[in-house]
Amino acid sequence: MADPYDHDNIFAKILRDEIPAKKVYEDIHALAFHDINPQAPVHVLVIPKGPYVSLDDFLADAPDALVTGFFRAVGKVSRELGIAESEGGTGFRAMANAGSDAHQEVPHLHIHLFGGKPLGPMLVK
């Protein structure tokens, strides 16, 4: 079971404009911004506008309109960044860590979008 949502986590503070972020996209469902420690030439985080700890929590509890709007925002961001194949990019990786085994560092659902170079294997063995 996921820990309860921490309203003082860094992404909650970014959503409230208490901490600045280099935003790339925002709508009523989602906010996307550059990662402060990029792991690829393109590394953007997309977060839903709501108190969800993980993808499991989000899919179980978020209203259908938010789920749809959030995932549409992920797609829109990938196209706007030019990493989607439909926009001439060579593709991207979308990743969401959930829980301690996956090394989730911030307890707010976030999708990492990586692109701009060959990304290698999915997991280190």
Catalytic residues: 110
Residue pair 97/122 in contact by the 8 Å Cβ criterion: no
Torsion-angle region of residue 2: left (phi > 0), alpha (psi -120 to 50) or beta? beta
C-alpha pair distances (Å), 64 with each of 67, 68, 107: 5, 6, 21
Residue 39 CB partners (closer than 8 Å, separation 6+): 112, 114
Q: H or E element: which one contains 32?
A: strand 30-34
